[in-house]
């Protein structure tokens, strides 16, 4: 339409390919569009609304906080921030928390922390951070430089120096992990955007061993895999490892924007006063949402129940993969599930929407399924019935 000069320019930049529906309401596992049509939402706002939409336990606390104080900056103590930090420390292998507002910002904090740690303990030139091909760590220049996907980096050169990408799940390539200037690795334990690909436990073991031997920080990006998504509060627990730094965001606030890193004390201590900051980071409303979310995740049996549903869905999807040869593989962990398909994953996603089911893609040929952890067996049956119809129609 660029030749038509009378065409009004859209006021929003076109960075997103949006689906042609407008969502105006959500509760639990369902959302409604502006015509009143109801959808089963197995995207959870991209692994964010892990307790379902507008969960009562979070809503009540946030509404109370909205009556009290919205913002005061980090020049003052914030009780909900202190409580949330304590809860995260109590339920992880980390000792101290820094709060920000998003996943990319959490990774920025992790990258800066690693560099600061290295400058103190190894010297200024030991700044190299190793990440992995097909990873996704965010869209800011720092986190994009960490992201091992050329197509996302196209046109944004010069990127931040000091990153090296190794092939994911490749044991042989680990021989090249340590260079004289390497200070940290950053990895996803299930690559989310990169195609719902779990890290091989043996590969992770070897990676950790090399890092331990060479005083290289292990930083895990749990922005998508954290907050109960894969069947434990954090996915690193299932690998029997203790990372030095954990970045989280998406599910932390049940949909209220918040991010954080949790780090071991000997690493965190290099972030002294004035080294890093964020105006909104750890804001009273956001940390109230985070605290209510984490309290519910650790005190209720929602994660435990989500594991049963995850097995049920995995079984159902595996059966479907035997029925339809368009499905090449079923993979993932907990309620972060992927279907590798022949053809374009987006075609199935679009067809599913016609049947009132919302799902996602993760790359060109992977369908990504992210139910809320609170989803019921009845909803899972509804999902399996629809997805069966979708494959039958293709």
Ligand X SMILES: *Cc1c(COP(=O)(O)O)cnc(C)c1O
DSSP 271: -
Cα-based torsion angle of the residue sequence 371, 393, 362, 30 in order, rounded to the nearest 10 degrees: -30
Among 28, 45, 55, 103, binds ligand X (CB under 6 A): 103
As measured in angstroms, the least distance from the Cβ of 247 to ligand X is: 7
Q: Is 41 marked as binding a ligand? A: no
Residues of the chain by 3-state class (helix, strand, coil), percent to 5: 40, 20, 40
As measured in angstroms, the least distance from the Cβ of 89 to ligand X is: 22
Question: Is residue 198 at the binding interface for ligand X, with CB under 6 A as the rule?
Answer: no
Segment 235-264, which members bind ligand X (CB under 6 A)? 249-250
Mark 208-237 with x for binding to ligand X (rule: CB under 6 A) and - for no binding.
-------------x-xx-------------
Segment 107-136, which members bind ligand X (CB under 6 A)? 107, 136
Query: Closest CB to ligand X among 138 and 198?
Result: 138
CB-CB contact of 343 with 22 (8 Å): no
As measured in angstroms, the least distance from the Cβ of 245 to ligand X is: 13
Q: Is 232 marked as binding a ligand? A: no
Total number of residues that touch ligand X (CB under 6 A) = 15
CB-CB contact of 63 with 236 (8 Å): no
Question: Is residue 104 at the binding interface for ligand X, with CB under 6 A as the rule?
Answer: yes
Q: Is 278 marked as binding a ligand? A: yes
As measured in angstroms, the least distance from the Cβ of 192 to ligand X is: 4
DSSP H helix total and E strand total for the chain: 12, 17
Q: Is 331 marked as binding a ligand? A: no
* Residue number closest to ligand X, CB atom: 103
Q: Is 368 marked as binding a ligand? A: no
CB-CB contact of 249 with 97 (8 Å): no
Q: Which residue has the tokens 């600061």?
A: 116
As measured in angstroms, the least distance from the Cβ of 221 to ligand X is: 5
Query: Closest CB to ligand X among 51 and 249?
Result: 249
**53: helix, coil or strand?**
strand
As measured in angstroms, the least distance from the Cβ of 309 to ligand X is: 21
CB-CB contact of 313 with 371 (8 Å): yes
Query: Closest CB to ligand X among 203 and 324?
Result: 203
Q: Which residue has the tokens 């960490």?
A: 146
As measured in angstroms, the least distance from the Cβ of 42 to ligand X is: 17
Contacts by residues 382-388 (CB-CB < 8 Å, ≥ 24 positions apart): 382/40, 383/40, 383/42, 383/313, 383/357, 384/313, 384/316, 384/317, 384/320, 386/40, 386/352, 386/355, 386/356, 386/357, 387/317, 387/320, 387/352, 387/357, 387/359, 388/320, 388/323
Question: Is residue 293 at the binding interface for ligand X, with CB under 6 A as the rule?
Answer: no
Q: Is 104 marked as binding a ligand? A: yes
Among 137, 229, 331, 368, binds ligand X (CB under 6 A): 137
* 329 token code pair: 């593989």
DSSP 364-376: TTEEEE---TT--
Q: Which residue has the tokens 């260079």?
A: 179
Query: Closest CB to ligand X among 250 and 333?
Result: 250
Query: Closest CB to ligand X among 235 and 374?
Result: 235
Query: Closest CB to ligand X among 223 and 291?
Result: 223
Distances from the Cα of 62 to the Cαs of 43, 254, 287, in angstroms? 23, 11, 9
* Residue ranges in 124-191 assigned as alpha helix (H): 141-146, 150-153
Nearest CA among 234, 241, 225, 233 for reference residue 185: 241
Return binding residues for pyridoxal 5'-phosphate.
103-104, 136, 221-224, 279
Return binding residues.
103-104, 136, 139, 221-224, 278-279
Where on the chain is the footprint of ligand X (CB under 6 A)?
102-104, 107, 136-138, 188, 192-193, 221, 223-224, 249-250
Return binding residues for N(2)-acetyl-L-ornithine.
139, 278
């Amino acid at each position: 339409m660029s030749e038509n000069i009378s065409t009004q320019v859209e006021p929003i930049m076109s960075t997103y390919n949006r689906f042609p529906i407008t969502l105006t309401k959500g509760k639990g596992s369902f959302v409604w569009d502006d015509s009143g049509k109801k959808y089963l939402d197995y995207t959870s706002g991209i692994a964010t609304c892990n307790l379902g939409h507008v969960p009562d336990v979070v809503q009540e606390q946030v509404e109370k906080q909205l009556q009290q104080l919205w913002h005061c900056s980090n020049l003052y103590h914030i009780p909900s921030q202190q409580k949330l930090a304590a809860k995260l420390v109590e339920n992880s292998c980390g000792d101290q928390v820094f709060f920000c507002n998003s996943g990319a910002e959490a990774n920025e904090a992790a990258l800066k922390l690693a560099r600061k740690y290295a400058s103190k303990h190894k010297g200024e030139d030991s700044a190299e951070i190793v990440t992995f091909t097909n990873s996704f760590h965010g869209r800011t220049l720092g986190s994009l430089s960490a992201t091992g996907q050329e197509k996302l980096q196209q046109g944004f050169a010069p990127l931040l120096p000091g990153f090296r990408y190794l092939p994911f799940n490749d044991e042989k390539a680990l021989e090249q992990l340590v260079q004289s200037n390497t200070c940290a690795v950053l990895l996803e334990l299930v690559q989310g955007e990169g195609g719902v690909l779990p890290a091989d436990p043996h590969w992770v073991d070897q990676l950790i061993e090399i890092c331990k031997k060479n005083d290289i920080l292990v930083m895990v990006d749990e922005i998508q895999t954290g907050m109960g998504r894969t069947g434990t509060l954090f996915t690193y627990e299932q690998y029997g490892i203790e990372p030095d730094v954990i970045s989280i965001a998406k599910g932390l606030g049940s949909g209220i924007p918040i991010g954080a890193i949790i780090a071991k004390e000997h690493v965190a201590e290099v972030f002294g006063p004035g080294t890093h900051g964020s105006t909104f980071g750890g804001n009273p409303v956001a940390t109230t949402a985070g605290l209510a979310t984490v309290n519910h995740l650790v005190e209720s049996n929602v994660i435990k129940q989500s594991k049963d549903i995850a097995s049920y869905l995995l079984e159902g999807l595996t059966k479907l993969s035997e029925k339809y040869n368009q499905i090449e593989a079923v993979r993932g962990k907990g309620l972060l599930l992927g279907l590798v398909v022949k053809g374009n994953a987006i075609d199935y996603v679009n067809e599913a929407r016609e049947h009132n089911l919302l799902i996602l893609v993760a790359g060109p040929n992977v369908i990504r399924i992210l139910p809320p952890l609170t989803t019921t067996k009845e909803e899972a049956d509804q999902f399996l019935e629809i997805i069966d119809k979708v494959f039958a129609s293709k």
